[in-house]
Amino acid sequence: MFALHGAAGGALALLLAWKLRRVVGRLRPRRWDRRTAFGAAALTLVAATLATGWVWVTAGRVDLAGYTLLAWHTLLGAVLGAAVAVHLLMRAKRPRARDVVGRRQLLEAAAIGLGGFLVWRVQRPIAEWLDLPGARRRFTGSYEADSFSGNAFPTTSWWRTTPARSRPTATDCGWRASLAARWR
């Protein structure tokens, strides 16, 4: 799941660069209309989502306005997903056969997917080579924090980053003891 997310992020970054090359002329302020403003807002949202994810995996734990960049990345990704869903509901057209059939479309999709995979695969070795904090993160995106300090947990706890389970103490009773006994 995490590998797919990283590769999809790399592919989205490549797709954004390819798309920007095509529409950069329309982003000049004198050529703007209502649709251009929405497009520029979407561009900003996609770029902010990608940037927060990239800075998190590269520069380490960074906070912004009291929240980690990973939290911002999650929020921006959710807003982006909602915006895409609304856009699809309002403007969706059935794909034409020429839009999805053909060697050119297959090669473009394969190149973007392969490029995203390569971006994902070279990120960590480059971070290790440059001795960046991102080289020391877990595969889940979490950074170790407060290790060996009692029951402190990492700053982020996602899928498969569960803390060690504790044993019941003499002060545990009733449901707490039965719950703790199941955790052994």
Q: What is the pLDDT of residues 43-72, one digit of tens each?
A: 889 999 999 988 888 887 888 888 888 889
Confirm whether 34 is domain-assigned.
Answer: yes
Confirm whether 179 is domain-assigned.
Answer: no
pLDDT per position as a tens digit, 143-181: 766 666 665 655 555 555 555 555 545 554 555 555 555
Six token digits for residue 3: 């590998």
pTM value is 0.64
Task: With H, G, I as helix, E, B as strand and everything else as coil, classify residue 64.
Answer: strand
Q: What is the pLDDT of residue 172?
A: 47
| Domains identified in the chain, total number | 1
Confirm whether 151 is domain-assigned.
Answer: no
Confirm whether 54 is domain-assigned.
Answer: yes
Which residue range forms the structural domain that includes residue 89?
2-136
155 in Cβ contact with 143 (< 8 Å): yes
**What is the band of 75 on the pLDDT scale with cuts at 50, 70, 90?**
very high
Confirm whether 46 is domain-assigned.
Answer: yes
Closest to 9 (Cα-Cα) out of 62, 41, 51, 43: 51
